[in-house]
Amino acid sequence: MMTGDYSSPDEVSNEIVIGPEAPACLRADGTPVTESELEGELLKAVRGPHDSWRGRAELDEIRARALKRRGSQA
């Protein structure tokens, strides 16, 4: 956000979670999951039991895993 690449924290988290060119989220039967359904599932995860945020180190780990996945899909 400091560089102006993102206008809000939501844009940053969207980039981290789904990436700029992420395919649509699909159900097992191939039908797309709606944005509101996805939001509902994410809210369940946030409201449920989870580990505390570990700060920058955790963000670096998430980024490394995402880059590794993207590299294996290329």
- What's the pLDDT band for 71 if we cut at 50, 70, 90? confident
Q: Is residue 1 part of a domain?
A: no
Q: Output the pLDDT for position 19.
A: 64
Q: Is residue 24 part of a domain?
A: yes
- For the stretch 9-68, pLDDT in tens is 777 777 777 665 655 677 888 888 888 888 898 888 888 887 888 888 988 998 899 888
Q: Is residue 2 part of a domain?
A: no
Tokens representing 51 are 């580990």
Contact 17, 11 (CB under 8 A): no
Q: Is residue 65 part of a domain?
A: yes
Q: What is the pTM of this model?
A: 0.37
Contact 14, 7 (CB under 8 A): no
Q: Work out how many domains the chain is built from and give that number.
A: 1
